[in-house]
Structure formats: structure tokens, C-alpha cells
């Protein structure tokens, strides 16, 4: 049983490369949890969450496949009180699931690191929940360019970034920082160095 398994939060700005860093960490031997995937699963399968969302937002957020995340986002992102109410339902359950997977990972003893991709780590005040925080940073122009490879325009980018802590503040508060302004090969090298640091330090 690996009780010394480090629990690391990976955070940073939108399209900074958090997911890429987590995939590299996973290839190196880390167990990786994506908080967005946990949230998606809760919205699709948790009766408590589904009931709470319907009570909060009404039947308009239901699509052919169940709760429609894009419709939920449209309803809450410009309404702080609704967003706060939704997050008060989701966030405790997300962290509960993270803790469950961490306990299982410790029990299994087969991984070298436990990493969680958490875009809103500091915004939820949960940095103390982790042994280390790794922030991924990229210049804004680069983030915007990456974002546009998968999205039509920057409207949602601006809207989502407005509710996040400034990336410069995240960098200052983090234990480790990866700057991701270059190539994928450079990112692999930097992530490998961070992985070595995290798995060797006590």
C-alpha cells in the first residue's frame, strides 16, 4: 500500500495545456482524474444531481441524451447566483469522487503519482486538499489560438476566463509551474522534469 502517494492538482488558464500535461503524466505512470469528466458523469448518472439541476434550472436543460451541458452553461454563466447554486451541488460530489479514487489508488499501490486536472482549483478554495499544485501557463495569444482550433469564436473563451482567477496569480500560488508556449516535445520534457521532482520529493 502506497500511503506516500502524492495527490497533485493540475490547474491553469483555459487552453493552457492542462489536459496535455495530464496525458503526459499518465504515460509516465501517474493516475489521472479529469474533474470535468467527473462532473459530466454526475450530470448524466447521479439522481441527486439531476434532480437538483432540474429544480434549479427547469426542464429546458434536458436534451435527447439527458441533461444538456451546453444549455446548462448558457443558463448559469451570466447569472452568478445560479452558477453558485449549481456549483454548491456539484463541487462537494466531485471532490468526494476524487477522494474515493485516491483511496483506491493508494490501496492498489500501482501508480507513482495521483494527478487531478482542476481548472477552478483556487476558485473553489480547495488547494489545501492536495500535496502539491502544478500550474500550466501559456501566453494569452497562444491560448486563444489553441482555443480556436476547436471552437468557432472567442466569446465563450472570454466568458469562461472572466470567472477564473488571473493566471499570473495562479502561477504565484502554485508549487510548480510549467510554461507551455512552445512545442509538444518541449512540453513533454518539462512535464517529465516535474514528474521526476514530484515522485522523488517527500
Residue 47 maps to which CATH number? 3.40.50.300
Under DSSP, the state recorded for 151 is S
**Residue pLDDT tens, the chain, 202 long:** 455 899 999 999 999 999 999 999 999 999 999 999 999 999 999 999 999 999 999 998 998 888 988 889 888 877 888 988 999 999 999 999 999 999 999 999 999 999 999 999 999 999 999 999 999 999 999 999 999 988 878 887 887 888 889 989 999 999 999 999 999 999 999 999 999 999 986 5
Would you say residue 110 lies in a domain? yes
Residue 12, SS3? strand
pLDDT value at residue 65:
81
Between CA 153 and CA 147 the distance in angstroms is 8
The residues with which 106 forms a beta bridge, in sequence order, are none
Would you say residue 112 lies in a domain? yes
pLDDT value at residue 1:
44
Which grid cell is 137?
A: 501557463
Would you say residue 119 lies in a domain? yes
In this structure, are residues 135 and 123 in contact, taking their beta carbons and an 8 Å threshold? no
Residue 46, SS3? coil
Would you say residue 2 lies in a domain? no
pLDDT value at residue 201:
65
Domain enclosing residue 170, as ranges = 7-200
Would you say residue 134 lies in a domain? yes
Would you say residue 23 lies in a domain? yes
Total structural domains within the chain: 1
In this structure, are residues 176 and 132 in contact, taking their beta carbons and an 8 Å threshold? yes
pLDDT value at residue 136:
97
Residue 91, SS3? helix
The burial of 128, by beta-carbon neighbours within 10 Å (0-12 exposed, 13-18 middle, 19 or more buried), is given as exposed
Four-CA torsion 58, 63, 68, 72, nearest 10 degrees: -30
Would you say residue 1 lies in a domain? no
Would you say residue 137 lies in a domain? yes
Which grid cell is 34?
A: 479529469
Q: Tell me the whole-structure pTM to 2 decimals.
A: 0.91
pLDDT value at residue 3:
53
Which grid cell is 175?
A: 508549487
Whats the size of the chain, residue-wise?
A: 202
Amino acid at each position: 500500500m502506497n500511503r506516500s502517494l502524492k495527490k497533485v492538482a493540475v490547474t491553469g488558464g483555459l487552453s493552457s495545456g492542462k489536459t496535455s500535461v495530464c496525458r503526459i503524466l499518465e504515460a509516465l505512470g501517474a493516475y489521472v482524474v479529469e474533474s470535468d469528466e467527473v462532473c459530466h458523469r454526475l450530470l448524466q448518472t447521479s439522481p441527486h444531481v439531476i434532480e437538483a439541476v432540474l429544480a434549479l434550472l427547469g426542464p429546458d436543460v434536458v436534451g435527447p441524451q439527458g441533461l444538456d451541458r451546453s444549455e446548462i452553461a448558457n443558463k448559469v454563466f451570466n447569472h452568478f447566483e445560479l452558477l453558485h447554486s449549481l456549483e454548491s451541488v456539484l463541487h462537494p460530489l466531485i471532490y468526494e469522487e476524487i477522494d474515493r479514487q485516491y483511496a483506491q489508488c493508494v490501496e492498489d499501490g500501482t501508480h507513482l503519482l495521483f494527478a487531478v486536472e482542476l481548472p477552478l482549483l483556487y476558485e473553489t478554495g480547495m488547494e489545501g486538499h492536495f500535496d502539491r499544485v502544478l500550474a500550466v501557463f501559456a501566453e494569452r495569444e497562444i491560448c486563444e489560438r489553441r482555443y480556436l482550433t476547436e471552437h468557432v469564436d472567442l466569446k465563450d473563451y472570454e466568458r469562461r476566463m472572466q470567472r477564473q482567477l488571473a493566471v499570473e496569480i495562479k502561477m504565484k500560488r502554485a508549487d510548480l509551474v510549467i510554461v507551455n508556449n512552445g512545442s509538444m516535445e518541449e512540453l513533454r520534457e518539462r512535464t517529465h522534469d516535474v514528474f521526476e521532482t514530484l515522485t522523488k520529493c517527500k
